[in-house]
Amino acid sequence: MMDDHPITPLDSRIAWECPWYRVRQDRIRLPNGGEGVYNVVEKCDAVWAVPVTPAGEIVLIRNYRYPLREWVWELPSGGVADGLTPLESAQRELAEEAGGTATEWRLLLRASAMNGIGTEYAYLYLATDVVLGQAEPEPTEAMSVHRVSAAEALRRARAGEINDAVSALALLLAEPYLETGKRDEAGDS
Amino acid sequence: MMDDHPITPLDSRIAWECPWYRVRQDRIRLPNGGEGVYNVVEKCDAVWAVPVTPAGEIVLIRNYRYPLREWVWELPSGGVADGLTPLESAQRELAEEAGGTATEWRLLLRASAMNGIGTEYAYLYLATDVVLGQAEPEPTEAMSVHRVSAAEALRRARAGEINDAVSALALLLAEPYLETGKRDEAGDS
């Protein structure tokens, strides 16, 4: 049986920090018995929402991501704020980025999003019966709100046009809950 | 029409660095005209492979991820090494982590994996006709190699048991290329 924790910390210090994340530098015991260093990005968890309107459309965000210097198609997403649960944070992001509210929320997945260097867990939600209102993005954000059919959102996810990986994952996980027209095409039901 | 680049750098410096990544601190012009700071994690791109054996099985890795202090089910993955293409890096990871070679490689997706803070792009590949040999993990790695049916791998991805988000995405994107038994269940073809 494998060791529960084959890599263990020997000591730890904060190597660098900013208001959004920090780097923790651990001296570690390696599986082969040697010593090493692991620099871990400590960051709050993050949330993504697949917002579905009563008409079955998906709400997508066109967002300028400064680290990439690119416009990215993605879902409403953001960090888990201090004092809020992941669900409350997802509800807040939907409200801020799209002015949206939903009557039903379902957790699709909890998974690590950067497990090579970071502590972040991603929480992916399906939000249904979404009504859109006035978005209130933060001053650091440049984005616009769009509605597309569920079939088109899934096509974009598979074609690489949703260039945020976790957004693409959330859309594919939501597929069983979406009206994609497949049942109609299938014929006689 | 939206500005091509609504957030622009004013100046830039390296705030912190280690052999695996570094933090670039940019003073930026915000969309509202104000000034701000953006701390960007500069990291090499990364690769994931969905390895499929001639029998239609998927090769999964059970990997201890120190940043999470958890054992994670995932696909063979790693960074794009200096001087290698993403494809060559995926081939190297399959060889190192599972002793595997494949006769055919197909790019499933290129997407950003941490676009809130980082520059990393993820390249997701399907590797078919995979033959496994002797794995040669690095001394910092604790992992084991497993083969499961394609249907079981997809079930785990949807159930949240593949707790690396990009691995789960790669498996779902690979589904159209996998033998999952669905055609048999469908009946009369």
Sequential DSSP letters for A155-187 = HHHHHT-S-BHHHHHHHHHHGGGS--SHHHHH-
The reply to whether A110 falls in a domain is yes
Clarify whether residues B24 and B69 are in a common domain.
no
Residue pair A97/A59 in contact by the 8 Å Cβ criterion: no
Clarify whether residues B35 and B111 are in a common domain.
no
Is the complex ipTM higher than 0.90?
Answer: yes
The reply to whether B134 falls in a domain is yes
Clarify whether residues B87 and B32 are in a common domain.
no
Coil vs helix vs strand at B62: strand
Clarify whether residues B34 and B50 are in a common domain.
no
Clarify whether residues A12 and A104 are in a common domain.
no
The predicted model scores a pTM of 0.94
* pLDDT over 80 at A172, yes or no: yes
Nearest-angstrom CA–CA distance, B108 and B45: 16
Tell me what the mean pLDDT of segment B131-146 comes to.
86
A160 touches chain B (CB under 8 A): yes
A71 touches chain B (CB under 8 A): yes
Clarify whether residues A82 and A134 are in a common domain.
yes
| CA closest to B140 among chain A residues | A30
| Residues facing A62 on adjacent strands | A73, A144
Number of domains chain B is built from? 2
User: Domain of A139: which CATH number?
Assistant: 3.90.79.10
Clarify whether residues A114 and A79 are in a common domain.
yes
Record: contact B109-A38, CB cut-off 8 A: no
The reply to whether B67 falls in a domain is yes
Q: Helix (H) and strand (E) counts for chain A?
A: 4, 10
* pLDDT over 80 at B1, yes or no: no
Nearest to A65 among B18, B109, B115 (CB): B115
Clarify whether residues A23 and A113 are in a common domain.
no
* pLDDT over 70 at A187, yes or no: no
* pLDDT over 80 at B137, yes or no: no
Give residue A182's pLDDT band: very low, low, confident or very high (50, 70, 90): low
Min Cα separation A7/chain B (Å): 7
The reply to whether B141 falls in a domain is yes
The reply to whether A162 falls in a domain is yes
Give residue B63's pLDDT band: very low, low, confident or very high (50, 70, 90): very high
Q: Which domain holds residue A86?
A: 46-177
pLDDT digits (tens, 9 = 90+) for A83-113: 999 999 999 999 999 999 999 999 999 999 9
The reply to whether B184 falls in a domain is no
Clarify whether residues A34 and A110 are in a common domain.
no
Tell me what the mean pLDDT of segment A8-22 comes to.
97
| CA closest to B8 among chain A residues | A66
Clarify whether residues A74 and A162 are in a common domain.
yes
Clarify whether residues A50 and A17 are in a common domain.
no
Clarify whether residues B110 and B163 are in a common domain.
yes
* pLDDT over 50 at B186, yes or no: no
The reply to whether A186 falls in a domain is no
Record: contact B6-A122, CB cut-off 8 A: no
The reply to whether B50 falls in a domain is yes
Q: At what angle do helices A150-159 and A165-174 cross, to 10 degrees?
A: 130
Question: Which carries the bigger pLDDT value, residue A185 or residue A10?
Answer: A10
